[in-house]
């Protein structure tokens, strides 16, 4: 299994503080069956910059030296959304997942800024694919699921947290994750692990739960096939089309343009 959202680099954000803690966390991940980790340090203005590939690669190499080859660790980031993200990408200030064209994008848990569709669509015109991190933990997406669906229709992908599907982030997140899983709105599962105690890298129980809810084929897609596609910078294996909402003319336009560009 492959974990595309994992805070395992020491001393760079609110993940592990020391190298020893990072090593323990990665070994816990291996015990859960995780073969590849994408290290995703927060990129948040004013708090965690984490835009220097040289610095982060140096930290990653030190961690690899202690962990060994199991699990394999590659570099990415979790970018806190801002409307100028297309400029940030051109300036190479956002590190894509595994060096490909997928960008992990985070929103605050209690808000989504206005006018987010245009920036998320605009970066797709430049060849990037945005992946929204843990939307099921966001109260706006929870209360307005059709808003999330409208973003999926224009090409945005979603990453749901394994702990949400097993109830570790509360009943609201679990209900949203379960509902969206059944609707085909979930593209990849990931741990969003931060440490070995309160936010450990748990995978097995979530995979079993997803298999119970949606079948083994979907579990395979969300825990293995789609994460592998992201790490290898390919199109997703599992990427259901969403029916258009009635009266959603702008969504239809975005969808038609996206299909033309991806032929």
User: Per-residue pLDDT tens for 158-212?
Assistant: 999 999 999 999 999 999 999 999 999 999 999 999 999 999 999 999 999 999 9
pLDDT band at 155; cut points 50, 70, 90: very high
C-beta separation of 203 from 223 below 8 A: yes
By the 10 Å C-beta count (0-12 exposed, 13-18 middle, 19+ buried), 222 is classed as: buried
- In angstroms, the CA 61 to CA 75 distance is 10
Contacts of residue 138, Cβ cutoff 8 Å, sequence gap at least 6: 107, 108, 109, 110, 111, 112
| Residue closest to 150 by CA, chosen among 123, 178, 124, 118 | 118
- Angle, helices 117-125 vs 145-153, to 10°: value is 20
- pLDDT-derived band at 46 (thresholds 50, 70, 90) equals low
Closest-CA residue to 201 (of 44, 68, 22) = 22
Give pLDDT tens digits for 19-31: 999 999 999 999 9
At the topology level, CATH places domain 2-261 in TIM Barrel (3.20.20)
Assign 254 a pLDDT band (cuts: 50, 70, 90).
very low
Q: Considering the chain, what is the average pLDDT of its residues?
A: 92
Q: Give the rounded percent of residues in the chain with a pLDDT score beyond 90.
A: 86
Residue 36 DSSP code: E
Q: Residue 111 corresponds to which tokens in the numbers above?
A: 């808000």
Give the residue extent of every domain in the chain: 2-261
Please count the helices (runs of H) and the strands (runs of E) in the chain.
12, 9
Query: Is residue 96 predicted with pLDDT exceeding 50?
Result: yes
- Per-residue model confidence (pLDDT) at position 244: 81
Alpha-carbon span 234 to 221, nearest angstrom: 14
Q: Does residue 93 sit in helix, strand or coil?
A: coil
pTM of the predicted model over 0.85: yes
Given phi > 0 = left and psi -120 to 50 = alpha, else beta, which region is 144? Answer: beta
């Amino acid at each position: 299994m492959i974990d595309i959202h994992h805070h395992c680099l020491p001393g760079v954000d609110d993940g592990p503080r020391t190298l020893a803690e990072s090593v323990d966390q990665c070994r816990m991940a291996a015990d859960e069956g995780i073969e590849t980790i994408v290290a995703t340090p927060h990129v948040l203005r004013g708090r965690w910059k984490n835009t220097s590939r040289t610095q982060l690669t140096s930290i990653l190499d030190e961690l690899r030296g202690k962990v060994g080859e199991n699990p394999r660790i590659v570099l990415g980031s979790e970018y806190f959304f801002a409307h100028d993200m297309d400029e940030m990408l051109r300036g190479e200030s956002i590190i894509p997942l595994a060096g490909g064209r997928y960008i992990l994008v985070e929103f605050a848990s209690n808000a989504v800024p206005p006018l987010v569709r245009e920036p998320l669509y605009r970066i797709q015109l430049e060849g990037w694919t945005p992946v929204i991190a843990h939307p099921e933990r966001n109260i706006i997406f929870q209360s307005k699921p059709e808003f999330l669906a409208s973003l999926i229709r224009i090409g945005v992908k979603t990453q749901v947290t394994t702990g949400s599907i097993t109830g570790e982030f509360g009943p609201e997140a679990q209900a949203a994750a379960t509902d969206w899983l059944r609707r085909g709105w979930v593209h990849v599962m990931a741990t969003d692990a931060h440490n070995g105690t309160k936010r450990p890298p748990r995978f097995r129980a979530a995979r079993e739960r997803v298999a119970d809810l949606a079948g083994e084929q979907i579990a395979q897609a969300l825990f293995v096939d789609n994460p592998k596609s992201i790490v290898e910078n390919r199109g997703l294996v599992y990427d259901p089309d969403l029916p258009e909402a009635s009266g959603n003319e702008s969504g239809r336009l975005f969808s038609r343009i996206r299909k033309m560009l991806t032929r």
